[in-house]
Amino acid sequence: LVYMYNTTGSKVEKDVYIYNGADLLGSYGGLTNPIRVDSVIDVNTANINNAVAYIFANGAVDGRGTVVINGESEAHPWNGSSQSTDLYTKDITSAVKNSNNISVIFSGASGSFTALQQIVVLTKKETPVKIATKITAPSVTKVYNVNKKFTATLKDANNKAISGVKVTITLNGKTYTKPTNVKGQAILDLPNLAPKTYKVSVKFAGDSKYKASSLNTAKVVVKKATPKMTGKTKVTYKVKTKTKKYTIVLKNNKKQAMKKVKVTLKVKGKTYKATTNAKGKAVFKITKLTKKGKYTAKVKFAGNKYYSALNKTVKITVKK
């Protein structure tokens, strides 16, 4: 076995199948022993480069034994003495099967010998040893309507960055293919996703040098954006003004007008409704403040799928 495995530094794989036993064949001490021993060695012949049989025997004097492997016979396998253990080696690449019949037969006129181990060694075709890889990617938290990047890093088993290969990133049902840079990073500019938590899958398919790897634990968390409401905090109206108008402007977190958005104003138990125009402006028409005094109004945007709710307090004075 040491002989067969003396392949330091080799990338070649060898499979060893052993039939282990000791059978005394022939005539010894006046007793007649079996004149043959038969064995079956099952092997896996897939992807082999060559096959070799190793047949051992003790007291293997020339002319006493015959070896038959898958129907192929060798009448002089050993040339030892009555005190030696000898090895018969045969290349059986052309004859090897998944199930191999091996027979050791006593064929001498007198005497005996012992059939020992029968071994079949398959040398597999050399295949490149690929380097293991690992993907890391921190989860990302972002606000709706704000640009941010998702970064996945690919490194080998020695923690060395792998550059110039393609990595796929699957997010919200869509797959993006990104190359890795000199730091092993594959960078995705995140699309403007609706607020919620998304699972992210990152995969490297591998190549002739590197093994495949994947990551399924990363997340992208998108939070609602906070809009901005502007308008006077204190207003004064005259009692005689039947319709008292109050104006607010609603913009998103990018300072863009939020159009066709419903807002409310509540004062003295009465709720007034308005809708923003193309410039984000909404005008409330207050009709029930007919007496002089000081009032507190609450202006509210209830929020929606993309934006958080927003409130504003307005101090209203009505005088003669």
DSSP labels, 281-292: EEEEEE----S-
Query: Rounded mean pLDDT of the chain?
Result: 93
The pLDDT tens digits for 174-226 are 999 999 999 999 999 999 999 999 999 999 999 989 999 999 999 999 999 99
Give the total residue count for the chain.
320
320 is written with which tokens?
A: 């003669």
Query: Nearest 5°: phi and psi at 158?
Result: -100, 15
What's the whole-model pTM score? Answer: 0.61
Question: 7 pLDDT exceeds 70?
Answer: no
Give Cβ neighbours of residue 287 (< 8 Å, ≥ 6 apart). Answer: 242, 243, 244
Q: pLDDT band for 6, please (50, 70, 90 cuts).
A: low
CA dihedral of residues 263, 264, 265, 269 (deg, nearest 10) = 180
Contacts of 159 (CB under 8 A, 6+ apart): none
| Residue 227 pLDDT > 70 | yes
Q: Over the range 112-143, which residues count as b (16 or more CB within 10 Å of their CB) and which as e?
A: bbbbbebbbbbbeeeeeeeeebbbebeebebb
- The per-residue b/e assignment along 173-211, b for 16 or more CB within 10 angstroms, e otherwise, is eeeeebebeeebbbbbebeeeebeebebebbbeeeeebe
The pLDDT of residue 229 is 97
Question: Which residues are paired to 203 by β-bridges?
Answer: 168, 214
pLDDT tens-place string over residues 271-317: 999 999 999 999 999 999 999 999 999 999 999 999 999 999 999 99
- CB-based contacts of 63, cutoff 8 Å, min separation 6: 76, 107, 108
Rounded alpha-carbon distances, angstroms, from residue 106 to 34, 35, 64:
8, 5, 6
The span from the CA of 202 to the CA of 85, in Å, is 60
Strands 23-28 and 140-143: unpaired
State yes or no: pLDDT of 31 exceeds 70: no
CA dist., res. 154 & res. 164, Å (int): 11
Q: What is the pLDDT of residue 313?
A: 97
Model confidence band, residue 63 (pLDDT cutoffs 50, 70, 90)? confident
Strand-strand pairing, 310-319 and 234-238: parallel
Whether 297 and 265 have beta carbons less than 8 Å apart is answered as yes
210: left (phi over 0), alpha (psi -120 to 50) or beta: beta
Domains of the chain: 14-124 (2.60.120.1200), 133-223 (2.60.40.10), 228-319 (2.60.40.10)
With bands split at pLDDT 50, 70 and 90, how would you rate the model's confidence at 40?
very high
What are the strands of the beta sheet with 149-156, ordered from one edge?
A: 133-136, 149-156, 185-189
Q: Which residue has tokens 């307090």?
A: 313
For residues 106 and 57, is the Cβ–Cβ distance under 8 A?
A: no
Mean of pLDDT values over 147-152: 97
- Tokens 């060798």 correspond to 74
- Among 77, 47, 43, 44, CA closest to 62: 77
Edge to edge, the sheet with strand 244-251 lists 228-230, 244-251, 281-286
